[in-house]
Structure 1
Amino acid sequence: MHHFGAATLTDRRSSGMKITQKIMCSSVAAALAALAMPAGAQQFKPADELEVVVVTAQKRKEDPAKVAMSISAVTGAQLQAEHVRDITDLTRIVPNISFTAASGNGGAGPGTSNIEIRGISSTAGAATVGVYLGDTPVTVGNVYTMGNVEPKFFDIDRVEVLRGPQATLYGASSMGGTIKFIPNEPDLKDREFTTYTEASNTKGGSPNYSANIVANLPLIPNELALRIGVQAQHTGGYIDQVDGDGNVLANNINKISDQELRAALKWKPTRGLTITPSVYYQKIDAKDIAAFNLELPNYQAQKQVREPSRDTLLSPSVTINWDLGAFDLTSATSYFERKFDRTQNGSAYNSYSLSTFLTSTEDGGKAPPELIEAIAGLPSAVYLNNQVRQVSQEFRLASRPYDAAVSPWTWLAGTYFSRQHTNIIENDPIFGVTDTFKQFGFDIADPELLPDARPGQFPGDNSFAGAFHYREKQASIFGEVNYYFSPAVHATVGARYLKADTTLEQRNGNYLAGAGNNSSAATSSKAFTPKYAVTWEVNPANTVYTSVAKGFRLGGNNIFVPPTTCGPDLEANGLEAGPPDYKPDSLWSYEVGSKSRFLNNRLSINADVFYVKWKNIQQGVYLPTCAYTYNANAGDATSKGFEFDIKAKPLPGLTLSASGGYVKAELSNDQGIENGVVGAVAGAQIQGVPKYNAAINAVYNFAAFGDKSAFVMAGMQWVGASKGSLDPDQTDHDRPAYHTTDFSAGMSFDRYNVSVFVKNAFDTDTVIQHPQVASIVQGYRLAPRSIGVSLATKF
């Protein structure tokens, strides 16, 4: 067998860098060639004021300075300029939002991350953050280590991060807040084509690239327009797979490729009626996960089974907006389907767990020690095939905007219905297990050798087979009313009443399922989630507000925990069997904030403080011997902190920004540890919540060559220390603080914009998390430094 040594690894990486350099040179050459094109005659002049981004946080278009909540709105142009490619990048530039790389005892790859806002973090039960793609909810629960849906930042107008519970308008699971991906709408007037290409190289890894094209085509001027775009991206890997002797088996295994397609049609048959059907599709293929073994040299992983995944998202929708004069009617009909197929290396617990059921001849059993050792060393995979399908319908009626001459009242009312079906298929083969027993002269179905064994329990070497079907039905009515005591002061009262039914049908079998299980269970949840706010517009440039709101998560059913294999763990928690279900949890949030603009909108300062009381928290109880997890309501918590966002234009062309947040999120009693959650005592810090994060950014736009514009940009982000586990004995208990720095510079001329950039410029290599992947504690870090070039065009 040929082993790839250091020289081969170096040659490969040098080759990858040469390829990237060629791509970069081609992009730069194209941009420089464009300089020779005729230039416009106008002198470039930087904007004097800060940009105001209109938001739809309250399901109508508003100036964010007038909305009584903490909001961050990041435009598509800013995402592109700062080379923000995914949620993990976003968490470093938006206050009090964080992520955990692996949800539960698995993952650490694309599609498995958990998102947290304001310290409301849980990898068990229902999600704590709502995720929307336009008007389509794409929120999924914490089921079988399946993380949040993460739409790519493709053809995006803006991303809105709404902090604090949003249950009134966005329903269950928006406890910590809501993230909205707002796509660009078709333009009925102007034809436009845009392209974007980017190439970079990662230190010690393989090349990255991204390319997209978007066309806006008015088919009937002012009446019908089509917007369509496609994108392809590749993120190079930097982790190598090695064998037990340290020989490199594969280079840069954590490569990721993704493709996106978006099409939207905007039809305006009459002056007040707009119909917008659209479809979004994305596919993410990961060759392996971005986790490495802590005991090996940096960025190496030793595994018997590779861990690829494919995550696809399909979301067609139809939105109808109808201006009926006295009010607006909106209908949002949507469907989304997520298929998430992935492989985990299950050797550490499938093979090892099976070996623990054998009793050695040295201890009076029938199994030779050599057989036990051979079984424990067999490779095993966990094949997970997940599918989520949801149909939803929302109707909204909204009054006209406030007009003192017409009425002191404004209002919004609506109904929401959804049906979600989640299917999970799991198979856990232990490769060669039957033949290994035969080699030692034993029958794998011998109950005297393997307790409770019987024929047919390892079909095709499969040690576990399970099928789980979750169904959820929701129906709710909601509304908000605003009363203006004067044009400067108004009060808001809102509420949502929700009813949900959930069912779980499960079938599992084979040896590691114990006696097996075929069962179904159902639960129902009801919730009333009010909201109260008072807003005072001190003057047109200064607003203060206070709000009180309730958040809520649905309860649900637990998967079956086999008492035969998990008996000792259950007994240690005072249980004879796993709990059949878990209850809803809820919280109350109290917030005070201000939003101000000064110096003719050359300076803006937004700040708020908040206090949250969280009751009956849904938490996962991990059973270490059998590697099962069940959900339980265990304990209460408080979360308190603040956020700020400052932007300034002190000089023409110079824009400075600083934002950040602090949060102290702790358990407030010992109920968690009393229910088997290790380390869940009063004062324990909630997992996955950095105590602070902050970001500063400086952009200088200036004239170059008369009518051209150029810019230089620098940004730094800091993320504070956090806890990855409640258990102080776990490696992930203490997550360190870290920071990263980015630079970019570029020039615009005619229809072209070229830039060069450096991400993670000082190559921060802190191990920021220690995900437990199939019972193996591993390391996760920021991607190493990447240097690249991009070219954007508009025609």
Structure 2
Amino acid sequence: MAKTIASRCIFSLAALLLASTTAVSPALAQDAGASADEAAKEDATSASTIVVTANRRSEVISEVPIAISAITAEDFERRNALSLDDLQAAVPGLRLVDIGPGSQRIQLRGVSQYLGQATAGNYIDEFSVTNLGPQGVAEVQLLDLERVEVLRGPQPTLYGESSMGGTIRYITAKPDLDEFMGSVTGEVSTIKSGEQGYRAEGFVNVPIAPGVAALRISAQHREVGGWIDSPTADDYNDRQITTVRGKLLVEPSPQFSVNATILYNESKQDSVSFSLDGLNTAQTTLTPSSQDYLLGYLEASYDFGAVELLSVTGYIDQSSFARRDIAPFFNTLFGFPAFTQVFSDADGNFERFSQELRLTSDSSGSFRYLIGGIYAEGKGTGLALSTYRPGPIPAFGIFNDSVASRAQSESIAVYGNLELDLLDWLTVEAGGRYFREKLDQRAVTTLFDAAGPGANSVTTRGREATFDTFNPRIAITANFDGSIIYASAAKGFRSGGFNLHPAAPNPTFDPESLWTYEAGTKLTFLGGAAYIEAALYYQDYTGIQSTNVTPLGGTAVFNSGAADGFGFDLALVLKPSDAFQFSASLGHNDVTFTTNAVDKFAGDPLDLVPPYNISVAADWTPRISDSFDLLVHADLNYVDEAAIVLRQIGALGFDTIAPNDSRVLVNSRIGADFGAFEAYVFATNLFNELKEVNPDFGAFVEPIFTQPRTIGIGVKANF
């Protein structure tokens, strides 16, 4: 069924793409050389004229030779989206699983390993919030943003390490230097078979010195109701999220600008949303999770005319906690009920400082360049404490173990990108980044009372090494009457690291790399009323950091195996009138292992990579009268089934294939906009599809399902 749906969508969109290559409007040739700002002014509602900064300069999205999804603030409201999780099906090749606060697993174009460092870069404006290791990326709420840019495919030159599958950029709204304004939103909702929730948010923009300085403050608090019942409590997976952000913009002259941002986010959940069927869990003990972070960054730029100098200084301090009862994992591992409970508490902290300098040339000439460098220091500390309580067969007594870890990273990167217009319609581009990281990791493992009271065992391990790499990107772009065809090759990179578990057979694992070869097109036609973006790519993934489970239940990472395969992205926007818009996206990925690895057989897919994800959406916004507009939105989202595969686990000798479900979710929103006031109702997961999005595996002793149908009502006031 999934293949049939996907095949029909592919055929329809491919046919439309082929037809459109001969239907490009000649009138658009006049717009091809327009600047980004001019294009935005001409038609801010056209999908092809969204201005992005993915290339670290302002450009119209239809002229950038990178596969990009740009989701605007208007799109957030239409979909009633509050986090990236709510938008994932609308971005080709994006998959995100929200396991709990600070435990989002993000993958792009199938570049996925279930454990290990991130394979997608995460940025808030110009500042990277990508973590040192697998502890989890900083949660970002879709609060008072201009847009989210999702760059698909390796981004080695401008974003560097971990941006293998791509890069996600959250672009916050800038203060307005001249106008006092703001908005307030209140919302209540109810979850089927669960609790009520609410959201309160708003922003205020205050010019301090009109035309020179302004302050913008945004805040949000969300109470997400629980819906999972345990034998001891009902609706026990409720969640609380609080975000506050302040931005100060100072422009003493047209050439000089300073932007200072402070952001605090806190997310807490009483118990992770594990369940047996989407509504009930066998767990009897709370498994709380939390994450909070404080970050600040200062952006200062000066425009010298021929070149602009930008300085970005940033710091983040992030803490997280998670508790799991992983007794079922060990009982499966040993083949008998060895334990009644195994509590695993993980408490971690991550700090990162970075300083970046960048020179960007003026965009008007036939030769353009960008050069920069960045220095970063990162420090991570953690304490993992496990408590083992024996089962009915007393093979073990009560004992504890703890692992106190520390990681320090010092890295430098130098990068550059050159663009040359060989002809009016032909541009070549070449860039690269040299990255070097000095990594130092230490761990102290203590086994308490393992051979009786007071019989402790202490093991200390530590390693340090330097990893370096050069990662290039080249591209060629042809511009025909305002539409482009491009081809590119880029190398992505994920740094190496250490195995500090006492049972790990290899103390060090090496970096891994990914070459992606891509051909794509961006077509604007029907006078700007239609826009198509399509890309076909081939990925060659080597030195893959594979996971092996040790006999004591720990994990070790090996460089093992290789994978390759093709994929494609399609995105379509049709806007025949100001009152109607239709959009669709499709992502397909067929990357599989080509050799046997420590944990995979040749032919196995990468972990939790769905072969297809498809989304369609429609918006109708007719003007009913001079006093208000009607706002009607509906979207349908399909995500294919996927699985975690672990095979040949060392001496343990068993295979695990943990699949999850395909799913079709339908969402809708209807509102009335009176200008200064808006009221709306919404429904997510309209048909109450309860489907697995994360299988039971290892420490995840029960699956995670989609949130049941949620219905709500909200009001928004602008001033």
Residue identity over aligned pairs, in percent, reads 26
Match for residue 705 of structure 1? 625
- Of 117-126 and 283-292, the range deviating more from structure 2: 117-126
- Following superposition, the deviation at residue 665 of structure 1 comes to 1.3
Match status 1:83 vs 2:80: yes
8 Å CA contact retained: 2:82, 2:143: no
Inter-partner Cα distance in structure 2 for 1:194 and 1:645? 32
1-structure distance, mates of 2:691, 2:367:
54
**Among 511, 528, 545, which residue is 2:470 paired with?**
528
Q: Distance in 2 between matches of 1:48 and 1:126?
A: 38
Describe the shift of the 1:282–1:512 C-alpha distance in structure 2 as closer, same or farther (beyond 3 A). Answer: farther
Seen in structure 2, the aligned counterparts of structure 1 residues 631 and 255 have a Cα distance that, compared at 3 Å, is same
Is the partner of 2:75 in helix, strand or coil? helix
Amino acid aligned to 2:696:
P
1:617 aligns with 2:544: yes
Find 2:111's aligned residue among 96, 101, 120: 120
In structure 1, the partner of 2:635 is 715
1:401 counterpart = 2:351: no
Question: How far apart, CA to CA, are the structure 2 residues paired with 1:426 and 1:530?
Answer: 38
Aligned to 2:86, what secondary structure does the other structure show? helix
* Aligned residue number for residue 601 of structure 1: 528
- Which of the numbers 407, 413, 420 marks the counterpart of 1:483? 420
The equivalences for 1:150-549 within 5 A come to 150-242=139-231, 249-293=232-276, 298-348=278-328, 376-377=339-340, 379-403=341-365, 408-430=366-388, 463-511=400-448, 515-539=457-481, 541-549=482-490
**What is the match of residue 12 of structure 2?**
none
Q: Distance in 2 between matches of 1:750 and 1:498?
A: 50
**Normalised by the size of structure 1, how large is the TM-score?**
0.80
Give the 3 Å change call, closer, same or farther, for CA 589–394 of structure 1 in structure 2: same
For 1:383 and 1:49, the matched residues in 2 are separated by 50
TM-aligned CA deviation for residue 730 of structure 1: 6.6
2:207 touches 2:213 (CA, 8 Å); kept in 1?
A: yes
Output the CA distance in 2 between the equivalents of 1:686 and 1:235: 32
Question: 1:635 aligned to 2:561?
Answer: yes
AA aligned to 1:183 is T
User: Alignment partner for residue 585 of structure 1, among 499, 502, 512?
Assistant: 512
The aligned counterpart of 1:758 is 683
Q: Secondary structure at the match of 1:763?
A: coil
Cα distance change on mapping 1:124 and 1:741 into 2, 3 Å: same
1:562-608 CA deviation, whole Å, 9 max, x = no partner?
3xxxxxxxxxxxxxx52101000101111111111112211111111
Matches within 5 A, 1:730-769: 733-769=658-694
SS of the aligned residue for 2:552 comes to coil
Q: Are the equivalent residues in 1 in contact too, given 2:114–2:607 (CA < 8 A)?
A: no
**Cα deviation, residue 307, structure 1:** 0.5
Aligned AA (2:692): V
For the residues of structure 2 that align with 1:579 and 1:196, how far apart are their CA atoms?
A: 54
SS of the residue corresponding to residue 687 of structure 1 reads coil
Cα distance, 1:724–1:781 mapped onto 2, change above 3 Å? same
Change in CA separation of 1:346 and 1:49 when aligned onto 2, cut-off 3 Å: closer
Residues 48 and 213 (structure 1), Cα distance of their counterparts in 2 relative to 1, 3 Å cut: closer
- Report the Cα offset of residue 774 of structure 1: 2.3
- Residue 88 of structure 1, CA deviation: 2.2
User: What are the superposed Cα offsets for residues 195-240 of structure 1, whole Å, 9 maximum, x if unpaired?
Assistant: 1122111100111211112010000001010001211001111111
| Structure 1 stretch displaced more, 188-197 or 122-131 | 122-131
- Report the residue type matching 1:154 in the other structure: L
**Residue 72 (structure 2) pairs with residue 70 (structure 1):** no
Q: What amino acid is the match of 1:340? A: S
Tell me, yes or no, if the aligned pair for 2:132 and 2:380 is still in contact at 8 Å. no
* 1:637–1:665 CA contact under 8 A, matched in 2: yes
Contact 1:523–1:555 (Cα < 8 Å) also in 2? no
Q: 2-side partners of 1:51 and 1:706: how far apart?
A: 29
Give 1:142 shift. Answer: 4.3
Shift of 1:126: 2.4
Q: Over aligned residue pairs, what C-alpha RMSD do you find?
A: 2.4
| Partner-residue secondary structure (3-state), 1:705 | coil
Could you say what secondary structure the match of 1:269 adopts?
A: coil
In proportion to residue count, which structure has more strand? Answer: 2
**1:42 corresponds to:** none
User: Distance between the aligned counterparts of 1:746 and 1:397, measured in 2?
Assistant: 45
In the TM superposition, what whole-angstrom CA distance separates every residue of 1:462-484 from its partner, at most 9, and x where no partner exists?
A: 61021000111110100000011
Are the aligned partners of 1:126 and 1:555 in contact in 2 as well (CA < 8 Å)? Answer: no
1:669 matched to which residue of 2? 595
Alpha-carbon contact 2:49-2:60 (below 8 Å) kept = yes
Write the distance in 2 (CA, Å) between the matches of 1:51 and 1:743: 25
- Structure 2 CA distance, aligned partners of 1:170 and 1:234? 34
Q: Secondary structure at the match of 1:88?
A: helix
Tell me which residue corresponds to 1:28: none
Deviation at 1:524?
1.2
Question: Is the alpha carbon distance of 1:305 and 1:409 closer, same or farther for their aligned partners in structure 2, counting shifts above 3 Å?
Answer: same
- 2:465 counterpart letter in structure 1: T
Find the aligned partners of 1:497 and 1:50 in 2 and give their Cα distance: 35
| Structure 2: gaps (5+ residues) | 1-42, 451-455, 649-653
Distance 1:343 1:734, change over 3 A: closer
Q: TM-score, normalised by structure 2?
A: 0.89
Which letter maps to 1:339? S
Contact 1:687–1:726 under 8 Å retained in 2: no
Distance 2:318 2:696 in 1: 24
The whole-number CA distance in structure 2 between the counterparts of 1:528 and 1:302 is 50
AA matched with 1:694: I
> In the superposition, relative to structure 1, how do residues 50 and 494 fare at CA in structure 2: closer, same or farther (>3 Å)?
closer
SS in 2 for 1:91: helix
Cα 1:135–1:512 shift into 2, 3 Å: farther
Q: What is the Cα deviation at residue 180 of structure 1? A: 0.5
C-alpha distance in 2, partners of 1:231/1:114? 23
Amino acid at match of 1:537: N
Tell me, yes or no, if structure 1 residue 54 matches structure 2 residue 54: no
Post-superposition shift, 1:113? 2.5
Q: What per-residue deviation string (whole Å, max 9, x for no partner) do you get for residues 637-671 of structure 1?
A: 1131111111112244111111111110100111x
Per the alignment, residue 129 of structure 1 pairs with 120
**Residue 376 of structure 1, CA deviation:** 2.8
Question: Secondary structure of the equivalent of 2:92?
Answer: coil
State the alpha-carbon separation in 2 of the partners of residues 51 and 212 from structure 1: 30
> Greater Rg, structure 1 or structure 2?
1
User: Is the partner of 1:263 in helix, strand or coil?
Assistant: strand
For residues 48 and 631 of structure 1, the distance between their equivalents in structure 2, rounded to whole angstroms, comes to 48
| Conservation of the 8 A alpha-carbon contact between 2:658 and 2:697 | no
| Contact 2:214–2:248 (CA under 8 A) maintained in structure 1 | yes
Distance 1:337 1:274 in 2: 26
Aligned mates of 1:600, 1:395 — CA distance in 2: 40
> How far does the alpha carbon of each residue in 1:160-215 deviate from its partner, in whole angstroms, 9 at most, with x for none?
00000001110111000000011101111111111112211110011121111201
Report if aligned partners of 2:619, 2:632 keep a CA contact under 8 Å in 1.
yes
In the aligned structure 1, how far is the partner of 2:214 from the partner of 2:390? Answer: 59
Q: After superposition, what is the alpha-carbon deviation per residue over 1:490-513, rounded to whole angstroms, capped at 9, x for unaligned? A: 100001111111111111112488
Alpha carbons 1:49, 1:600 under 8 Å: kept: no
